[in-house]
Structure 1
Amino acid sequence: MDLTYRVMNYSPDLDRAVIDDAFKRAFKVWSDVTPLTFTQIYSGEADIMIMFGSGEHGDGYPFDGKDGLLAHAFPPGRGIQGDAHFDDDELWTLGTGIVVKTRHGNANGANCHFPFIFEGRSYSRCITEGRADGLPWCATTASYDRDKKYGFCPSELLFTNGGNSDGSPCVFPFIFEGTSYDACTTDGRSDGYRWCATTANFDQDKKYGFCPNRDTAVIGGNSQGDPCVFPFTFLGQSYSTCTSQGRQDGKLWCATTSNYDTDKKWGFCPDRGYSIFLVAAHEFGHSLGLDHSSVREALMYPMYSYVQDFQLDPDDVRGIQYLYGRGSGPKPTAPAPVPTKEPEPIPTEAGSTSTTEEEELTPEPTAKPIPVDPSRDACVEKNFDAITEINGELHFFKDGKYWTLSSFWKSGIQGAFSITDTWPGLPAVIDAAFQDVLTKRVFFFAGRQFWVFSGKSMLGPRGIEKLGIGKEAGRISGALQRGRGKVLLFSGESYWRLDVKVQRVDKGYPRATDDVFTGVPLDARNVFLYQDKYHFCQGSFYWRMTPRYQVDRVGYVKYDILQCPQH
């Protein structure tokens, strides 16, 4: 079996070639012991889409900044399933500190060798000594004096990443919004990435690129990722390396000018970072369907630890061969069964949360409803009050009645059924509904009230303000389930993310629908999830959006979804 993967973007911490090589080796970990093969593609939809992102990065499962959650991946399946995401707030290395891949010079792109000797002095960083053009460089062996092997370190004076300038170097100074800049900046961006113009006037030419991270780029502080400057002066003393002087927490820092006492510019020194190879191999295990292991030495153990001479543990081999068969590894044995659960992204470092609920519902079996008006045809309705999927069937609500359409069986439209016969106590007009994928409870919304059903047991009505939704919301027009107990609720031009377990919307909401769901009607009457895609309805039409937020179809609700005959 050949699986494809695509790298959507890259971390600025490492050269692209280093990242590509790390991912290739990470996939080889699994292909060496199974019949699987992996092929990188550069356009289109791959089985495993790989991306770097910070904070809320589009899948509903935000990263938490530096350290903590390093990455997450989704089990195999359609759409976003199988994809792997890496937290771009981490420092990505090969696990032993900054990796600096050189360009040009005479070392054929070899990595810097730290420390190295130049003119009898030892250096543990890229330097500009010995050059009049200010370009940072390093030796690629332990002694430049002996071997004369060198290359240039990443620098905005040599090239930029991304942007729209095809890798052209920065031009300093440059003009942005009327201000002159002599260095890379984060101004004008909300993601914190350093950038520069590649012509003298961005306001006029709009040409830019992202600045590559230098080997000594600082983290935090007030220098926007500028490199350390050695030696630097602090409280009258000279420092040639990072220091913890002046700090009670013991963290290493440096100045980014030659004199901290006068300029007050500083940042934290980068640490050893996290091995992109080891984390990727772990995440790709999840992409292939593996859960976490309880064996501490296993790759699939949930806590990160650096291993210099990595070898796949027998527990990992047994698990992957149970799923895909034997490659060149040992004969597989079946692992202990694990509970089946709804697909959700699996983090590299898992935390735990404890939640409580105000009331408990006792589930009751729900018998198949009996149509109360079989002659009432859903195909004659101009629109519907609400549309949602419950127990694998699409439900269409209208004026106290509803119809069902199976997602799995070609049984056609069933109904009309009575809303109050199935869910006693609900009003005739329903604005929105969704079913929690974990508990199978059904939430209904009408006006500014909501009800929760388990079978025919009901909680409610309650006001939506109990969920943390303010008066800016009129009616809830739809819901999109996102897994892990999260649901997006839509109203007008905004949406909220609801934590179903605690029945409260998350902090940072509402957000503008158009910021993420670009290209769909902002005044959609119905919003629902169907066949792993998002549907936004307005009038007789629907807009279908992929999990990657691309509208891939506009059609008729009646003819395309209900399969009504066209007259």
Structure 2
Amino acid sequence: MELPGRLYCVLLGLIALVSRAMPTPVPPLSTVKPTVSPQQGLKYLQKFGYLSTGTSQAGGLQAQGNLNKAIRQFQRFAHINITGELDEATLEMMTKERCGVPDIVGTANSARKRRYAIQGSRWRKHDLTYRISAYTQDLPAFEVESAVEKAFQVWAKHTPLTFTRIYWGRPDLDVKFSVGEHGDGNPFDGAGGELAHAFFPQYGGDAHFDDGETWTVRTPGGTDLFIVAAHEFGHSLGLGHSDVRGSLMAPFYQGYTPAFTLPPDDVEGIQNLYGVADIDRPSPHPRPRPPSNDVDVPDYDARGTVDPTTCSGHLDAITRTKNGSTYAFAGEFFWRLNDIGPDPGYPMRIHDIWGVVGPIDAALFWPSTGKTYLIKGERYWRFTNAVLDEGYPASMERFRGVPTNVDAAFEWGRNGKTYFIKGNQYWRYSKGWGVDDGYPQPLSVWTGLPDRIDAAFQWKNGKTYFFQGGRYWRFDDDNLRVAESDPQYPRSTAEWWLGCPIQHEPDWVGSQDGQAPGTDSTDQPADGAEDQRVNGLTGGSGASRASWRAGLTSLCVLLSLWLSRTIQNTH
């Protein structure tokens, strides 16, 4: 039931007066420590990269050995007693506030060459822009802006990097506060636990902060925004987590730190990526670093060890599965991808694992059902993770109105609709219904894409990617065109997705507006296509009503505080 505006204010005023008259209860002290169960501990190890998905269900001595090794790696990162067991100290450590980015990215059995961790991608320019697109209500806007700027300067001080805030348009780095599911496939968990996460440069560099926390500045209470932001921006610039005690890039929250200075481990890591600032240049004989004996921690900089058959960059299909894995398909082979390239042991033959003879035409993942589809010719196979569902393969006729021999398929995050591409046309499909009226449409509606597509999918960050002939494009769902970024799109699939070494600077890096060479930048959607592309989105009335209520609430709170203080002054 909607309350009239006046009654709404009166009720808030009465609540304020009553709360002033009643004593504030003192919360009881508790000695109970938060813990996690062993099963939750296994999920924790999987989530943060120590253990591959499915290990906990596997049997045998090898699986147990992998589990013990994963636990030891976590214990080393956490600087607790290394037992290889999920003991009380280990489970308790898993309750600590931390960053949501995985600790282990890539090969889990190679020796790391440095204590600082380089994820594998970096920005190719030094002048970066950022925008704060959503604020927390815990702090005044100017405090948020000041803390964010100060956090960027932590990294700028030791490198040639500059960070400029913009107020509209697409920045290099988007900073926002959100709660729960917020569109990138990594929902926040509320107070405690994961405080924030960020994407590495190859995935856009955006940084998201859990607004379920109580954000503070310059005080030991709450969660210090500056120190968390400085850590997340390290990820945005290409640094992974460090296992050095006291490092800013260590995964666990360190709390408010007066007079913070960037530790040497982090300085060396960021300068390895971007070089040093003029005032930071060392003497000709820098101090040598002692070798590391941590042979179980992965090498984040081992991009030159990729199987050469991987590096053609051409993909027939790419998709996700219910357990969060990403799979890329080319010819008779497929790869499982992590954030910097293929997992160890890949490529494998498609038929050996999926039961389908390669090559395939397309792949599709529906997040709402957790089902993954491989499509070839007139048939498709449906999977839960990589396990074939009973009753498949089935005829493509079940996708009413969709042609056979499609080139690509994906669900678009903007409207939840499914799109099939064949040649220079695309079909929009509604689940349980069929192809929508008015389709097919020309592919040129998707401004900036080439006239043919080999593969497409929505990744875990909620963004849509298109692949063609060894190159890929990221689509800007807000502006309905290929995203603007530096380096521009298209980019090399082999380098950015398959972890292949950089052989040379591609010719297409300098193309304008992120388009493929020869693509007409004046292409516009067909008549009525704009309405079709946003069909299914929520209208503006709900947002307007929420904004009105938020403003009214703020006004009423101020009125309540004034009434309360007036009554207090009369006593």
TM-score, L = length of structure 2: 0.38
Comparing both structures, which one devotes a greater share of its residues to helix?
2
Q: Whose relative contact order is higher, 1 or 2, with alpha carbons under 8 Å and at least 6 apart? A: 2
TM-score, L = length of structure 1: 0.38
